[in-house]
């Protein structure tokens, strides 16, 4: 992991600022001579910058995003607890962790931090900007922030604006955090029980009826307690508590709620999307109930240079991470088409 330290005030969209920020990031592969092989991957809610760890179905040797061909970079998002400045970071003005005093951040603030890192690394072009779910939110915002830098977009299980459904889920999760008696305490473990409950609710939206019925149904009709699905949700909640932080979860779900491409751009999503110039591949997951395919179809309908593919999966929203084998053929074909267009353009010139 690498770190970039920005030792100047970082103004936030909501009007507050951070005295300084640190950005944690990973890179894989080598930058070519003309710096034209950059693949920047934006991660989702509780992921981190080690994209080889959580997206190894698409990133790695002999995968669609192969480090032998591409210079791959992923930066941890602002507000997280995996190295980039967030609620657990030390506030240089108080010399204590921010905890609940960490200011609100938005998707645009995350992208603004990414841009600082891009400039620090001297990357003038991003060949492919990729992300699913919250990562897709970042990709879309970045496409508007730097249209002259970002050349192609790869989007999965994402949308032009957070839905009322998504905001409702996040609000419910934050109510769970607030219901924890330790919430608000100046401690890295404050809100852990609430975080466990919030993750359990999240898992129900990341998966769906079909996959839970398939994998978690109890075979014993005489059972009165200790159901398999209950154990599964407890396990998933404990796993997140062991690796994440409740204050970061609060901060990041608030950031998700803020996502709306029309804010400050006239409000009408259709008109905003139609201004996008990048060639785009959009993947929808048939069983996704958190960000259903109607959201990706809306993007495909209004982005001028978009191709839409829907894959059949029982894994719901998490299919964008799990279904590498189903996604890869479509991604590889699209990458080949981009390469062919580039070669034709160079031949004409």
270-301 pLDDT tens trace:
999 999 999 999 999 999 999 999 999 999 99
C-alpha distance across the termini of the chain, in Å:
40
3-state helix/strand/coil string of the chain: CEEEEECCCEECCCCCEECCEEEEEEEECCCCCCCCCEEEEECCCCCCCCHHHHCCCCECCCCCECCCCCEEEEECCCCCCCCCCCCCCEECCCCEECHHHCCCCCHHHHHHHHHHHHHHHCCCCECEEEEECHHHHHHHHHHHHCCCCECEEEEECCCCECCHHHHHHHHHHHHHHHHCCCCCCCCCCCCHHHHHHHHHHHHHHHCCHHHHHHHHCCCCCCCCCCCHHHHHHHHHHHHHHHHCCHHHHHHHHHHHHCCECCCCCCCCHHHHHCCCCCEEEEEEECCCCCCCHHHHHHHHHHCCCEEEEEECCCCHHHHHHHCHHHHHHHHHHHHHHHHHHHHHHHHHC
Check pLDDT > 60 for residue 345.
no
Check pLDDT > 80 for residue 346.
no
Q: Above pLDDT 90, what percent of the chain?
A: 95
Please, are residues 66 and 60 in contact by the beta-carbon 8 Å criterion?
A: yes
CA gap 53, 49 in Å, rounded: 9
- Of residues 169 and 349, more confidently modeled: 169
Q: Which of these is catalytic: 26, 43, 170, 317? A: 317
Confidence grade of residue 343 (pLDDT, cut at 50, 70, 90): low
Q: Which of these is catalytic: 180, 192, 257, 288? A: 288
- Per the annotation, the verdict on 317 as an active-site residue is yes
Check pLDDT > 50 for residue 175.
yes
215-226 pLDDT tens trace:
999 988 999 999
58-80 pLDDT tens trace:
999 999 999 999 999 999 999 99
- Per the annotation, the verdict on 133 as an active-site residue is yes
122-144 pLDDT tens trace:
999 999 999 999 999 999 999 99
* Average of per-residue pLDDT values in the chain: 96
Check pLDDT > 50 for residue 347.
no
Q: Tell the burial category of 248 from Cβ atoms under 10 Å away from its Cβ (0-12, 13-18, 19+).
A: buried
Q: Which of these is catalytic: 80, 133, 248, 258? A: 133
The pLDDT score that the predictor gives to residue 339 is: 84
The pLDDT score that the predictor gives to residue 292 is: 97
Tell me the sheet residues that pair with 153. Answer: 129, 280
> Mean of the pLDDT values across residues 195-214?
95
CA gap 303, 275 in Å, rounded: 8
Q: Above pLDDT 70, what percent of the chain?
A: 98
Check pLDDT > 90 for residue 329.
yes
> Mean of the pLDDT values across residues 156-175?
98
Token pair belonging to 125: 């072009």
- Per the annotation, the verdict on 288 as an active-site residue is yes
Confidence grade of residue 27 (pLDDT, cut at 50, 70, 90): very high
């Amino acid at each position: 992991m690498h770190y970039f330290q920005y030792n100047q005030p970082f103004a936030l969209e909501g009007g507050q600022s951070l005295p300084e920020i640190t950005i944690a990031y990973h890179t894989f592969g080598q930058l070519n001579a003309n710096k034209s092989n950059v693949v920047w991957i934006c991660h989702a809610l509780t992921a981190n910058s080690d994209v080889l760890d959580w997206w190894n179905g698409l990133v790695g040797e002999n995968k669609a995003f192969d480090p032998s061909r591409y210079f791959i970079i992923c930066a941890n998002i602002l507000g997280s607890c995996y190295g980039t400045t967030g609620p657990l970071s030390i506030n240089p003005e108080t010399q204590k962790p921010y905890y609940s005093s960490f200011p609100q951040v938005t998707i645009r603030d995350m992208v603004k931090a990414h841009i600082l890192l891009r400039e620090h690394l001297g990357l003038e072009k991003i060949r492919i900007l990729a992300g699913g779910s919250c990562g897709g939110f970042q990709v879309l915002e970045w496409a508007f922030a730097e249209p002259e830098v970002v050349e192609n977009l790869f989007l999965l299980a994402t949308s032009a604006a957070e839905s009322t459904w998504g905001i409702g889920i996040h609000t419910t999760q934050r109510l769970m955090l607030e219901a924890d008696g330790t919430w608000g305490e100046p401690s890295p473990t404050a809100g852990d029980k609430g975080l466990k409950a919030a993750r359990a609710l999240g898992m129900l939206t990341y998966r769906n009826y079909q996959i839970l019925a398939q994998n978690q149904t109890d075979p014993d009709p005489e059972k009165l307690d200790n159901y398999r699905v209950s154990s599964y949700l407890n396990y998933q909640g404990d796993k997140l508590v062991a690796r994440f932080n409740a204050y970061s979860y609060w901060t990041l779900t608030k950031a998700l709620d803020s996502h709306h491409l029309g804010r400050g751009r006239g409000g009408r999503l259709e008109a905003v999307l139609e201004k996008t110039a990048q060639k785009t591949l959009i993947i929808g997951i048939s069983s996704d109930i958190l960000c259903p395919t109607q959201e990706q179809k809306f993007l495909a309908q209004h982005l001028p240079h978009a191709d839409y593919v829907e894959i059949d999966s029982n894994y719901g929203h998490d299919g964008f991470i799990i279904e590498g084998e189903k996604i890869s053929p479509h991604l590889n074909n699209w990458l080949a088409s981009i390469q062919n267009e580039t070669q034709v353009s160079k031949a004409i010139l």
